[in-house]
Amino acid sequence: MSTGLNTSWFVDAGAVGASDNNAGGFRSSNANATKSLTDNYCYGASFTTITVTDLASSNGTNATPAVSSVTRPFVAGDAGHILRITAGTNWTPGLYEISSVAAGVATLAGACGTAASLSSGSATMGGALASPGQAGAHHNGGDTIYGTSHGLTNLYVLDCSGDNVSGKALLLKAGNTSGTQWFGRLVGYDSTLDDGGRAYFQMSGTATKPGVRTADGGDIRNISLDCNNLANNGFQGGNVGYSICFNCEVFNIGANKTGFAIISTRKCIARTSNATGIQGFGPDAQDCWAYDILGSNARGFSNLTGDYFRCVALRCQTGFSVRRASHCVARACGTGFSCGIYGAYGPAFLDNCIATECTGYGYVNSATSTQPAYHYHNAAWSNSSGNWSSELTPYKVGCIDLTGDPFVDAANGDYSLNDIAGAGDACRSAGYFAVAGLPLTVGAPDIGVCPMGVTTADKAAIAALILATPAQKLVTDASGQVAVGTIANDAITAASLKADAVTEIQTGLATPTNITAASGVALTADYDDAKTAAQAGDAMTLTAAYDAAKTAAQAGTALDNTVWTNTKAGYLTGDAFARLGAPAGASVSADIADLHTHLTTLVALGVVTITQPVTTQGTVSILYGYDYAGSLAPTFALPVATCPDLTGATLVQVVHTGDRATAMPGTFTVTDPGTANQAVVWTIADTEYTTTTRENVILEATLASGLQVALWNGTLVAA
């Protein structure tokens, strides 16, 4: 097989002509490629399957052989695509990247035959593969396999008696190039690449292999896997390298097996399994959920040495059987947190967790453990056997017995803290903040999974503590005076002054008495005369010209026109309209009103209706530097008939760059949530877009249930 690093392989059983006999691969990083990852023969507008039976070469044994076809000459757009040679005398069947094309002849990346002169070869290019197993057979370490189910239309059934064969389970390979380790990637999607939608797999047959596994490290994203209660793990990582699952789901886990037996999981779900010894999650998890994991010795989260952060276990036999958990929640489980079960690996540490409504203990240390379980600022409420087992008493610091349910609406997946005293309010800013040298009350986070973060005031307090040192003192100069640098405006406030400072300052100020008595205060004789007249109540005379103007004004007499025709009056002569323009309303007010009408017509965006969330793309154009608020705020109709119920949802518009998401400016609010008139209103201040920009954006919503969905993706243009 002669394919380059970072080749993409496309699995789409619903595509026209999808077959495991297709080539199904394209490398967009090929230097001569004119097609792109989102538009090639395997995916996008250029999707096609090309087959030839007259492939020929005059140097087939060369390391870079040239091949041609009379019936379908090669073209520039073929570069980067994978040519799959399937048959022909002296041809070597396999996968070959087309390195370049010139004058209808393609140059391949590897020798393609056992003889120099070759003819009548059969080959195919483009098209989509029909099974993940076949993509596994084609790919190398460092490649990416993309798969879609088009919603739930295509379910990929994996025969787990083997892997990396058509119709079998999938093994992501690893590779090594010049000492650099490369890992395979599997990425599911719904309708467009990287849209966050999941592809759906189901394990079947005699499960000698896990559903999806990695040879060493690997990256698995957006996959929903039904383990079908078979006797093997769902997702499984290799013994070497870093493997991760992101936005994946596993359910119907088999007895004594693990849904995610993989080093790291992010934003994943393990659910709905009822067997002995189930483990929803393995070594390490963040922002994950395990629910309805039941059966003897079944555990939502279980690990030897890993960490769990912001995870939720709901209705599990044991929520967390762990050594390390932070900001996690166990609700309605048999036992919430069972610590120290892996005592041979050292003591357990739990902080900022909440256990509620468990039928056993909220927190318990394993009876067989030889190690303590340290509890820092955890909380518990309404656990039937008790919030804490007695052996934990010596190891609890700052733990809280709540008097009520701390959550806003846990029944519907909202685990944010309520404001009820003794319940959610007792968990606010009550968490453990493990920073050496800082008191626990400064910058302390909330207990529980959300919300997280340190407030602005807390950050200021922490900064003050970090900057303050015992050595701080006043510095004096050589004369003994205090040496002071530049003092910022308003740095000294009234409250900072001593009470007698005001008296001292006033003593040095001038008063009416000492101004009168001071020498040199006589201004001019004219001033003295005016003062005398004012004191006597007489009218003051300024100038003869002034008196004449005043008399004329009082009498209603028009001012002498000759006064205004001097050089100074030249600024007002002639037609004033020529300087101000000739507005339709012949007034400045009419001009302003007319201008406002035109500006409103210019910047108002109207209503954009999006009928299919996630799949719909479009372009929203705005003028940078303008306010879009009130009646000018763009409104996007998202009726519940075609979109999720956005009641209680949090919305943010982001740009994704790799694994990072950057929030874009603007505020999103929902009107008429949960109705046919449900809509999203986007308010943008003129200071938020001050330059031109063009971004591919996704509007993400975190629903009241805690699930994240994409409402739309498209292009934002600020011009």
For residue 37, the model assigns a pLDDT of 96
CATH number of the domain that residue 613 is part of: 2.60.40
With helix as H, strand as E and coil as C, how does 287-301 read? CCEEEEEECCCCEEE
Q: Which residues pair with 314 in a beta bridge?
A: 291, 331
- What residue type is 578 in one-letter code? A
Instruction: Kindly state the greatest CA–CA separation across the chain.
Output: 128
On whether both 276 and 358 belong to a single domain, the answer is: yes
Q: What is the pairing mode between strands 279-281 and 693-702? A: unpaired
- Separation of alpha carbons 535 and 405, rounded Å: 78
- Look at residue 39 and tell me if it is in a domain: yes
On whether both 67 and 164 belong to a single domain, the answer is: no
On whether both 263 and 181 belong to a single domain, the answer is: yes
On whether both 638 and 688 belong to a single domain, the answer is: yes
- Please list the rounded mean pLDDT of every run of 10 residues in the chain (719 residues): 87 96 96 97 97 97 97 97 97 97 97 97 97 95 94 90 96 78 90 94 95 91 96 86 89 92 91 80 84 91 83 94 91 90 69 97 78 89 95 87 95 91 94 57 75 43 40 40 52 61 62 50 54 57 60 55 45 46 52 46 36 49 72 77 85 72 82 87 79 77 82 74
Query: Is 457 within 8 Å of 443 (Cβ atoms)?
Result: no
- Separation of alpha carbons 652 and 665, rounded Å: 9
- Look at residue 496 and tell me if it is in a domain: no
Length of the chain: 719
- Look at residue 3 and tell me if it is in a domain: no
On whether both 41 and 187 belong to a single domain, the answer is: no
For residue 570, the model assigns a pLDDT of 45
Domain range for residue 328?
141-427
Q: Could you tell me which of 339, 361, 334, 336 has the C-alpha nearest to residue 350?
A: 339
On whether both 116 and 159 belong to a single domain, the answer is: no
Q: Which residues pair with 717 in a beta bridge?
A: 621, 694
Q: Which residues contact 68 (CB under 8 A, 6 or more apart)?
A: 55, 56, 57, 74, 104, 105, 106
On whether both 299 and 417 belong to a single domain, the answer is: yes
473, with CB counted inside 10 A (0-12, 13-18, 19+), is: exposed
For residue 685, the model assigns a pLDDT of 82
- Separation of alpha carbons 195 and 187, rounded Å: 10
For residue 48, the model assigns a pLDDT of 97
Q: What is the pairing mode between strands 667-671 and 619-622? A: unpaired
Domain boundary among 392, 407, 427: 427
For residue 526, the model assigns a pLDDT of 54
DSSP E strands, 94-173:
94-102, 105-108, 118-126, 144-148, 155-163, 168-172
What's the number of domains the chain is made of?
A: 3
| First CA to last CA distance, the chain | 48
- Look at residue 432 and tell me if it is in a domain: no
The DSSP 8-state label assigned to residue 254 in this structure reads P
From residue 278, alpha-carbon distances to 272, 311, 321, 688 in Å are 11, 17, 12, 50
- Buried b / exposed e over 55-73, threshold 16 CB at 10 Å, is bbbebbbbeebbbbbeebe
705, with CB counted inside 10 A (0-12, 13-18, 19+), is: middle
On whether both 122 and 191 belong to a single domain, the answer is: no
On whether both 90 and 181 belong to a single domain, the answer is: no
Q: Which residue has the tokens 């279980």?
A: 302
On whether both 151 and 102 belong to a single domain, the answer is: no
For residue 187, the model assigns a pLDDT of 97
Domain boundary among 68, 103, 126: 126
Q: Which residues contact 192 (CB under 8 A, 6 or more apart)?
A: 38, 615, 617, 713
Provide the 3-class DSSP secondary structure of residue 153.
coil
On whether both 154 and 221 belong to a single domain, the answer is: yes
Q: What are phi and psi of 502, to 5 degrees?
A: -65, -45
For residue 698, the model assigns a pLDDT of 81
Query: Is 389 within 8 Å of 358 (Cβ atoms)?
Result: no
- Look at residue 485 and tell me if it is in a domain: no
Put residue 320 in one of left, alpha, beta given phi > 0 → left and psi -120 to 50 → alpha: beta
Q: What are phi and psi of 331, to 5 degrees?
A: -135, 135
- Separation of alpha carbons 284 and 305, rounded Å: 8
For residue 544, the model assigns a pLDDT of 64
CATH number of the domain that residue 268 is part of: 2.160.20
- Separation of alpha carbons 5 and 717, rounded Å: 34
- Look at residue 410 and tell me if it is in a domain: yes
On whether both 381 and 297 belong to a single domain, the answer is: yes
- Look at residue 514 and tell me if it is in a domain: no
274, with CB counted inside 10 A (0-12, 13-18, 19+), is: middle
- Separation of alpha carbons 468 and 436, rounded Å: 15
Domain boundary among 70, 97, 126: 126
Joined tokens for residue 709 = 């969905």
- Look at residue 291 and tell me if it is in a domain: yes
